[in-house]
Chains A and B, each alone.
Chain A
Amino acid sequence: DGGITQSPKYLFRKEGQNVTLSCEQNLNHDAMYWYRQDPGQGLRLIYYSQIVNDFQKGDIAEGYSVSREKKESFPLTVTSAQKNPTAFYLCASSPTGTRDTGELFFGEGSRLTVL
Chain B
Amino acid sequence: GNSVTQMEGPVTLSEEAFLTINCTYTATGYPSLFWYVQYPGEGLQLLLKATKADDKGSNKGFEATYRKETTSFHLEKGSVQVSDSAVYFCALRDQGAQKLVFGQGTRLTINP
**Chain A interfacial positions (CB closer than 8 Å to B):** 4, 6, 31, 33, 35, 40-45, 48, 50, 58, 90, 92, 94, 96, 102-104, 106-109
Contacts of B77 in A (CB 8 A): none
Check if A41 sits within 8 Å of B49, measured CB to CB.
Answer: no
Interface of A (DSSP majority class): strand
Contacts of B49 in A (CB 8 A): 102-103
* Selected contact of A102 from candidates B32, B41, B44, B89, CB within 8 Å: B32
A75 to B89, CA, bound (A): 25
A25 to B4, CA, bound (A): 28
Q: Which residue of A40, A104, A107 has the most chain B CB atoms within 10 A of its CB atom?
A: A104
Chain B, interface residues (CB within 8 Å), range: 20 to 34
Contacts of B93 in A (CB 8 A): 102
**Chain B interfacial positions (CB closer than 8 Å to A):** 4, 6, 32, 34, 41-46, 49, 51, 89, 93, 98-105
Given that A42-B104, A42-B105, A102-B51 are contacting pairs, would A107 and B43 also be in contact in the complex, using a CB cutoff of 8 Å?
yes
Given that A48-B98, A50-B98, A96-B98 are contacting pairs, would A106 and B103 also be in contact in the complex, using a CB cutoff of 8 Å?
no
11 pairs of residues in contact across A and B, judged by CB atoms under 8 Å: A31-B98, A40-B104, A40-B105, A42-B105, A43-B102, A45-B99, A94-B98, A106-B44, A106-B45, A108-B41, A109-B42
Given that A90-B43, A103-B49 are contacting pairs, would A43 and B99 also be in contact in the complex, using a CB cutoff of 8 Å?
no
